Structure 1
């Protein structure tokens, strides 16, 4: 994110904690199946586990955050 001019705090948590932590967050990036819908955008990040498509996922994250900050 820093390399793309996005100043962000990244917080790692368990999937069970996500719903209670979404307030004040801009994006959820999850390496597991999301069990529910959230009030903020959420992306599946299995590419970080498989190693396939990581650059495309990086770009989706950057695009989502830029869109959020533009609003």
Structure 2
């Protein structure tokens, strides 16, 4: 099972939208996934054992795992490319 953290800058509204889209994507592709949510400032303490970080806020730090900017799930722009990037990581 792949583990994904979806992180946002403040509240949890945008990460909830992105997390739900990732769950739907993984289900559609038959990929077992566990998706959790947090704030960006919590990533350091929650990154252990994670396969992918998707953020809806700007993140420049290297957490030692792939980080994908997931604002497309909120804006509706470039969703297909973002989904493909996520699938590329989840299928590894």
Asked whether the two chains share a fold, i.e. TM above 0.5, the reply is yes
Aligned to 1:26: 51
Higher relative contact order (CA 8 A, sep 6+): 2
Q: Structure 1: state its 5+ residue gaps.
A: none
**Runs in 1 of length 4+ with deviation above 4 angstroms?**
none
Deviations 1:16-55 (A, max 9, x none): 1111111011000000011411111110111112111112
Aligned equivalents of 1:5, 1:19: Cα separation in 2: 29
TM-score (norm 2): 0.68
Matched, 1:41 2:78: no
Counterpart position of 1:60: 85
Stretches of structure 2 that go unaligned for 5 or more consecutive residues are 1-25
What value does the CA root-mean-square deviation take over the aligned residues? 1.0
Larger strand proportion, structure 1 or 2?
2
How far apart are the structure 1 equivalents of 2:32 and 2:44? 23
State the aligned residue count.
67
